[in-house]
């Protein structure tokens, strides 16, 4: 079949924002909900505490994001909720008042679109929360509630809060705080479809779907795609699926997934034995055991062949997220590992995504530590920021790095190299993950290649170019 994916995603650089922790602008005094006390911005994050970040603060940072080279923002949930992460949705039609409400989102969308930035929201459609209006009606009215069939309730009375009693209804991962929708019910299905449509009409540019693999109702995601694309054919639909995602990436459902199949091997290759085991053994993405170049090449080649090329170009590629420890902490502060992994991220097919703060060296272990607040400028790691800006600029400069074919050139020891090829244009990328210098040669033709990133030693003899890389370094070569 002819697979269609949004063209803008193929050229995008995403920035993932956890809204409570990125930026905060003080609200006017008439905003009563903003007079409550929040945790100090610079204190360590807690599982349940709020820092008070809001969408007004994001608006204030759009110039920063644009200067960095970002072209799209993915927000973790922003709808009304009783949790700092907002995966416990209360109202799918209301932006959380702490974040500024619907008014703040409209102002953000206008400001972002004026700068050419896309905005993708998180859709938590597998489950709601105990505070969701219709589930709350069940708690009040029991089996007499008109919404009783919207959820999977097994016995009365419903025990939503008493941990000494069985929950007696289906909650996601057996969490009674997250009652699962009954997606087989036509009204539930229609409700979620309309939520998806509503926010597209309000101007968002796509949906990231939380745990969509839990929704097993036949045809559900096909219908979701059809209805979203009917409103905006260029809307991006990306699913949170951590493993082989072929059943959702057939062209009838999602445009891509959060590409953890890229994440794990890339960290295992660049981080090697620096990877801190207790930070990676829980999340389901396997950045261990260490991989040599040949093993990494095999995994990347398998991944390249797993999905249609049109889908490869709209995968959401990441090195970490709100669901994992941050890369800097995973590799125990080794900045060389971070640089090499970031180099591979920005030269791989698909849309690279930065988890907020990574570009300025923000560390973080597992949740809640991975959700620290964005640091003050005096605490930024400026070389890391400069490295990100350089790689983003090169990706924007060379179309081959965005849509060119991916061809492995060398995979020996801990030296890995490949080229991206597009209509005669070639960009070469080499990574030496080892502790010793490494050298390789390539046939380059009459054109002169120069280093656009990194500091390799280049020696050209005729059409043969010798590339020598210092330990723990990488480079990008192009005309």
Residue positions annotated with a catalytic role: 210, 240
- Which residue, 270, 279, 228, is CA-closest to 253? 228
Order of strands, sheet of 438-443, starting from the edge strand that comes earlier in the sequence:
438-443, 464-469, 457-461
Q: Which H helix or E strand runs over 469?
A: strand 464-469
Determine phi and psi for 71, rounding to 5 degrees: -125, -5
DSSP string, 241-271: --S--TTT-SSSS-SEEB-HHHHHHHHHHHH
- CA distance linking residue 416 with residue 414, whole number of Å: 6
- CA distance linking residue 59 with residue 52, whole number of Å: 15
Residue pair 95/78 in contact by the 8 Å Cβ criterion: yes
Determine phi and psi for 391, rounding to 5 degrees: -65, -40
- CA distance linking residue 292 with residue 464, whole number of Å: 26
Order of strands, sheet of 206-209, starting from the edge strand that comes earlier in the sequence:
256-257, 236-239, 206-209, 118-123, 72-75, 14-17, 351-355, 316-317
Place of tokens 């902490």: 329
């Amino acid at each position: 079949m002819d697979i269609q994916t949004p063209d803008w995603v193929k050229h995008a650089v995403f920035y993932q924002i956890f809204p409570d922790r990125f930026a905060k602008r003080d609200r006017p005094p008439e905003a009563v909900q903003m007079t409550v006390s929040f945790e100090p911005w610079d204190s360590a994050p807690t599982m349940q505490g709020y820092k008070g970040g809001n969408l007004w603060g994001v608006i204030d940072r759009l110039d920063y994001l644009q200067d960095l080279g970002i072209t799209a923002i993915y927000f973790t949930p922003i709808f009304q909720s009783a949790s700092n992460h907002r995966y416990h949705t209360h109202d799918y039609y209301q932006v959380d008042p702490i974040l500024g409400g619907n008014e703040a989102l409209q102002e953000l969308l206008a400001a972002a679109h004026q700068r050419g930035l896309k905005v993708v929201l998180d859709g938590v459609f597998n489950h709601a929360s105990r505070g969701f209006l219709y589930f709350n009606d069940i708690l009040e009215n029991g089996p007499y509630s008109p919404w009783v069939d919207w959820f999977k309730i097994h016995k009365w009375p419903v025990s939503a809060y008493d941990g000494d009693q069985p929950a007696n209804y289906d909650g996601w991962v057996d969490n009674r705080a997250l009652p699962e929708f009954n997606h087989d019910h036509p009204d539930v299905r229609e409700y979620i479809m309309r939520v998806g449509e509503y926010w597209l009409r309000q101007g968002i540019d796509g949906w990231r779907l939380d745990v969509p693999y839990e929704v097993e109702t036949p045809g559900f995601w096909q219908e979701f795609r059809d209805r979203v694309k009917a409103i905006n054919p260029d809307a991006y639909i990306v699913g949170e699926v951590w493993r082989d995602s072929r059943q959702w990436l057939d062209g009838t459902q999602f445009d891509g997934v959060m590409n953890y199949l890229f994440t794990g091997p890339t960290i295992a290759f660049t981080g090697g034995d620096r990877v801190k085991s207790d930070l990676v053994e829980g999340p389901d993405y396997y950045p261990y055991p260490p991989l040599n170049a040949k093993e990494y090449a095999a995994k990347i080649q398998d991944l390249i062949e797993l999905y249609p090329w049109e889908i490869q170009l709209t995968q959401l590629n990441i090195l970490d997220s709100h669901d994992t420890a941050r890369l800097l902490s995973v590799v125990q502060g080794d900045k060389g590992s971070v640089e090499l992994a970031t180099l591979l991220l920005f030269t791989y097919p698909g849309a690279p995504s930065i988890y907020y703060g990574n570009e300025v060296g923000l560390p973080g272990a597992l949740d809640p530590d991975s959700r620290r607040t964005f640091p003050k400028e005096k605490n930024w790691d400026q070389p890391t920021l400069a490295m990100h800006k350089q790689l983003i600029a090169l990706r924007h400069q060379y179309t081959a790095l965005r849509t060119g074919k991916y061809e492995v050139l060398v995979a020996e020891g801990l030296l890995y190299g490949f080229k991206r090829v597009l209509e005669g244009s070639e960009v070469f990328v080499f990574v030496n993950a080892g502790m010793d210098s490494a050298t390789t040669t390539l046939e380059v033709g009459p054109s002169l290649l120069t280093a656009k990133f990194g500091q390799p030693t280049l020696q050209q003899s005729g059409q043969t170019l010798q590339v020598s890389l210092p330990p723990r370094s990488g480079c990008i070569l192009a005309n």
